[in-house]
Amino acid sequence: MRVGLLTGGGDVPGLNAAIRAVVKRGEGEYGHQIVGFRNGWRGVVDGDVQPLTRKDIRNVLPVGGTLLGTARFHPHASDGGIDAVLATLEAERLEALICIGGDGTLHAASKMAEAGVNIVAIPKTIDNDVWGTDQSIGFDTAVTVATDAVDRIHTTAESHNRVMIVEVMGRHAGWIATTAGIAGGAEIVLAPEAPFDIERIERFLKHRHRAHASFSIIVVAEGAVPAEGTAMHYETQVGKFGEIVAGAIGERLKAEIEQRTGFDTRVTVLGHVQRGGTPTPTDRILGSRFGVAAIDAVSQGRSNVMTALRGDRVELVPLEEVAGKVKHVPAELLAVASALA
């Protein structure tokens, strides 16, 4: 078979592990030809191909990013995009397409499956918000980076008697904020799933600093917002492409806390640092498992499915059940973060 492969949306550590697994398993076990598309769905529309062999994936396992490049482009949202994809797949004589991506890329994959393309998807996102899988490629590395940052912030916060705000990614779901906040021992964790009350934060900080501590750490997801009817009015700041403006909620919290408490407060925005660098062993292993499972599924004639981690097992779930859904942080995990304040 000739099988297409693309990575779409934001890059994450562990993508190259998945690409490597697809190529090694597909070529070595099944004798398939793997054809990569550069820059996600844009490459499929443009016919920008890159044949992938074992030589191309040598030494990529510990490398972050994606050797294929990526882009935020969805063919179903572009005039003639779906027809262009179908024309490219026909011209390249591809019998199936493996798509590695987050919610946007997977939604596009489901649209192409509806158009008759044999699709197998692999979930990746540092936000860990793809529905149907316990974990996505890139999440573990992002949490590791964020936890290390919180650990480092502790010493400077205590030395200067400051409130330190660490802003992490997470527009619709606060997985990074919640898990890194718990692992790093943050006093306050703010996630999109639980809108906050700035007056409760004010009272907590004043009590903590008066009773037993001279510093506090707050981890906030970029998509966190105050609860309706509370004292702080804030609307999420977005850029021209709908992306959240980095640092917006962190800076607003800083201003509110300083004005309300008088405590010296600083902000650290981790931003794209969470996406970059060497993938953790967990993401290398997960990417490898998903890659093998995806090419096995293609070889078995499976279509319109996504690889998913369920407990200790990698399973296939219907793509139509996944597309357009968000996996939120469960209340139990948010409660743990709150209980450890």
Pick out the chain residues at pLDDT < 70: 241
Per the annotation, where are the binding residues? Answer: 10, 72-73, 102-105, 125-127, 162, 169-171, 222, 266, 272-275
> Quick one: pLDDT at residue 237?
85
CATH 3.40.50.460 domain position(s) in the chain: 141-276
Q: If you search the block for the tokens 């004589």, which residue do you land on?
A: 93
Residue 130: what are its φ and ψ, rounded to 5°? Answer: -75, 125
Per the annotation, where are the binding residues for ATP? Answer: 10, 72-73, 102-105
Cα separation, 318 vs 322, in Å, equals 7
> Quick one: pLDDT at residue 43?
95
Active-site entry in 11, 127, 140, 296:
127
Cα separation, 52 vs 64, in Å, equals 18
Count of C-beta atoms within a 10 Å radius of residue 313: 10
Per the annotation, where are the binding residues for substrate? Answer: 125-127, 162, 169-171, 222, 266, 272-275
Cα separation, 136 vs 63, in Å, equals 17
DSSP 289: H
For this structure, is 127 an active site residue?
yes
DSSP 240-286: TTSPBPTTHHHHHHHHHHHHHH---EEEEE-GGGGT-SPPPHHHHHH
Q: Report whether 317 contacts 123 (CB < 8 A).
A: no
Report the candidate in 52, 59, 116 with the shortest Cα–Cα distance to residue 295.
52
Q: Report whether 46 contacts 95 (CB < 8 A).
A: no
Count of C-beta atoms within a 10 Å radius of residue 332: 7
Cα separation, 25 vs 279, in Å, equals 21
> Quick one: pLDDT at residue 310?
97
pTM for the predicted model, two decimal places: 0.94
> Quick one: pLDDT at residue 241?
66
Does the domain at 2-138+279-321 match CATH 3.40.50.450? Answer given as: yes
Burial class (CB in 10 A: 0-12, 13-18, 19+), 206: middle
C-alpha distances (whole Å) from 205 to each of 157, 188, 194 are 14, 9, 19
CATH 3.40.50.450 domain position(s) in the chain: 2-138+279-321
- Token pair, residue 135, equals 């974990």
> Quick one: pLDDT at residue 324?
83
DSSP 232: -
Q: Report whether 147 contacts 176 (CB < 8 A).
A: no
Per the annotation, where are the binding residues for Mg(2+)? Answer: 103
Cα separation, 61 vs 64, in Å, equals 8
Q: What are 280-338's pLDDT values in tens digits?
A: 999 999 999 999 999 999 999 999 999 999 999 999 999 989 988 999 999 999 999 99
Q: How far apart are the first and last CA of the chain?
A: 55
Cα separation, 164 vs 154, in Å, equals 8
Which residues in 112-126 are b (16+ Cβ under 10 Å) and which e?
A: bbeeebbbbbbbbbb
CATH topology of domain 141-276: Rossmann fold (3.40.50)
Q: Report whether 295 contacts 25 (CB < 8 A).
A: yes
